[in-house]
Structure 1
Amino acid sequence: MNRDQRGSALLVVLWACTLLGILVGSYALVARVEALQARYQLAHALARDVAESALIETIFSLLQAPDPAAPLRIDGATRHLTRDGMDVRISVRDDRGKIDLNQAPAGLLQRWLMQAGVKDARNVAAALIAWRSPILTLGQHQRQDARYRAAGADYGPRGAPFASVEELGRIPGLGPATLKLMLPDATLWSGMAMPVPELASARVLAASTGLDPAAARQTYLARISRPMAISAATAWGTVESVEVSAEAGDGVRATLAATVRLQGWSADRAYTVLRWQEDGMP
């Protein structure tokens, strides 16, 4: 073998070693990523189990006679506890303190939209009313469809009551950031035109009472620092929204939220789940 051939062979060997090193490094990286994914999935599954257990316990607590020494708050205040080494946060909100999308009048909807930062709140409130209202004539149908097409939508208003709170996202003028603020305050099940102030969030309190946002926030914080003004011994048929999050190590968190109608122990089912979310997804 002459010098040129030996040089070529050396280059081939070096190239092969480099390629082998790249392959080994790639396999090691893939193995590390898979191990991290498996660890995350295990931690998330454990956190979800803890969250689900706490959520079910909370629902059953709502079905019991309230404990005067430690009443269960139903105004959205957060309760903290530790379970299986995880930080668990629980909040219960009676839907009578929310905005009923099918019952709220236009003025309340407009003020609520303004609290969420919607600039064209008047027209968006009118769109909410139009979505849930029957379309009586062909002309009305065509005008509404034209408004939606102008907003880039390929559909028109339902012309019937909201079937889910997520339908709020189909109203032109409401983006993801706005919906993130509004959905926790929305319901279909209170049956009330106006929310109960003692159960409302700061944003709903401002919209329903006319308080400025800062005053509404102060009123809300003062309220949740005091004993409940409304008993948790709610009548059967009331609707409660329960949210539970459990945080495991490394910041892995599982969040479950359920909206339930309490029906009592004498019914076929003690409660009915109306809405269910996992990690913010329906």
Structure 2
Amino acid sequence: MLWTVGFLALLGTQIVAAGRSDTQLADNLKQEAVLQAAADGAVAHVMFSMLAARDPQFQLDGVVREIRVGPTPVLVRVENEADRINLNTASTALLRALIIDVGSAPAVADRLAIAIVDWHNQTNDTRQNAAQAPQYRAAGRSYGPPGTPFESVGELADVLGMTPALFERLAPHLTVLTDDDPDMTTHDPVVARALTDSAGVADVTEGSQRINGDAVLRIIATAVGTGNARYVLLAVASADFQNATPRINILLHERVNRAAGEAVVAAGF
């Protein structure tokens, strides 16, 4: 009898514990869904406010602002995607300057800048430091440069000579979603320094970045839940108001892992 009572007591404890675990899981999933919806709502609100309504509340200044979507607070940061250097249009000199300005030695920058250009250019480069298919094979890589534009900044990690640590330092200053190089109106001081260094002149001309039909917005929205719950969403969007039917084009829309998202919000660039 005692064994039976003990067994039933143990079974009851396990059932209660499983029930609590299932309830906690359900609560977590519910909160994540709420936070995701709030982040999506905040991004949509910012896109419309800036690209259509020209709301002066939001600026391309990288300042974190709090808005509410229902009861959920969302921290929103808006940047100009054009502040970043485009991997597909940047010159070797500009890429070299950027690599040096994030802390690499000039010799490393020389090799890597050429390798980045070689990645998306179909050439038979015989220069010193060239990074073509033979060099990739010699390094034990099972692939070579595709000779096509970068489809994402993440693709840079596959370029010959790139290391994870250097990629982490470079990525915040790069894009593939613009049409041209940034200029000295950029809010990114590292990019501004690279532009100056690559030109060989101290051009510090200041301009004012206005929101226009060509603006490309980078929006980081962090929905804040109870406890330590966060949902970080990154979106990049442009607007087309030249046609009869105006529209906003979503160029990138993805969840950012929490550590990376908080680093983006804290450091900006």
Give 1:154 deviation, angstroms: 1.7
Q: Which amino acid aligns with 2:241?
A: G
Aligned residue number for residue 29 of structure 2: 41
Choose which of 176, 198, 209 in structure 2 pairs with 1:230. 209
2:240–2:246 Cα contact (<8 Å) kept? yes
Number of corresponding residues: 248
**Which whole-Å CA distance do the structure 1 matches of 2:222 and 2:237 have between them?**
17
Q: Which residue of 2 is the match for residue 172 of structure 1?
A: 160
SS of the residue corresponding to residue 259 of structure 1 reads strand
Residues in 1 aligned to 2:45 and 2:13: alpha-carbon distance in whole angstroms: 48
| 1:124 aligned residue | 112
Label 1:172 to 1:32 Cα distance change in 2 as closer, same or farther (>3 A): farther
**Shift of residue 42, structure 1, vs aligned partner:** 1.2
Long gaps (5+) in structure 1: 1-8, 212-218
CA shift in 2, pair 1:17/1:162, >3 Å: same
The one-letter code of the counterpart of 1:111 is: A
Using the alignment, how far apart are the partners of 2:148 and 2:221 within structure 1?
Answer: 32
Q: Are 2:73 and 1:87 equivalent residues in the alignment?
A: yes
Deviates more, 1:73-82 or 1:38-47: 73-82
Q: Output the TM-score relative to the length of structure 1.
A: 0.73
Which SS does the other structure have where 2:185 is aligned?
helix
Cα distance in structure 2, aligned partners of 1:25 and 1:250: 27
One-letter amino acid of the counterpart of residue 193, structure 2: A
The DSSP-based 3-state class of the residue aligned with 1:111 is helix
Q: What amino acid sits opposite 1:50 in the alignment?
A: A
- The TM-score with structure 2 as length reference comes to 0.76
Which residue among 44, 61, 70 is the counterpart of 2:49? 61
Would you say the 8 A contact 1:74–1:199 is kept in 2? Answer: no
Contact 1:118–1:174 (CA<8 Å) still a contact in 2?
no
Shift in Å at residue 29 of structure 1?
A: 4.6
Residue 145 of structure 1 aligns with which residue? 133
Structure 2 partner of 1:197: 184
| Further displaced range: 70-79 or 56-65 | 70-79
- The offset of 1:118, in angstroms, is 4.3
Q: Paired residue for 1:260?
A: 237
Q: In structure 1, what is the Cα distance between the partners aligned to 2:20 and 2:167?
A: 37
2:163 paired with 1:163: no
In structure 1, how many angstroms separate the alpha carbons of the residues matched to 2:50 and 2:220?
13
Partners in 2 of 1:31 and 1:150 — Cα distance? Answer: 57
| Structure 2 counterpart SS, 1:155 | coil
Distance (Å, rounded) in 2 between the aligned partners of 1:230 and 1:129: 28
Show structure 2 runs of 5+ residues with no match. 199-203, 261-269
1: CA distance between counterparts of 2:166 and 2:7? 52
Which structure's CA Rg is the greater one? 1
Could you tell me how far apart the structure 2 residues matched to 1:181 and 1:38 are?
Answer: 38
Instruction: Show the counterpart of 2:266.
Output: none
Q: 1:247 aligns with which of 216, 221, 224?
A: 224
Query: Equivalent pairs: percent with the same residue?
Result: 25
Shift of 1:96: 1.8
- Counterpart secondary structure, 2:231: strand
Task: Tell me if the contact between 1:91 and 1:243 (Cα under 8 Å) persists in the aligned partners.
Answer: yes
RMSD of equivalent CA atoms = 3.5
Alpha carbons 1:75, 1:97 under 8 Å: kept: no
Distance in 1, matches of 2:221 and 2:147, equals 35
**Which residue among 79, 83, 99 is the counterpart of 2:85?**
99
Which is further off, 156-165 or 75-84?
A: 75-84
Measure, in 2, the Cα distance between the counterparts of 1:175 and 1:26.
48
Indicate the structure with greater helix content.
Answer: 1
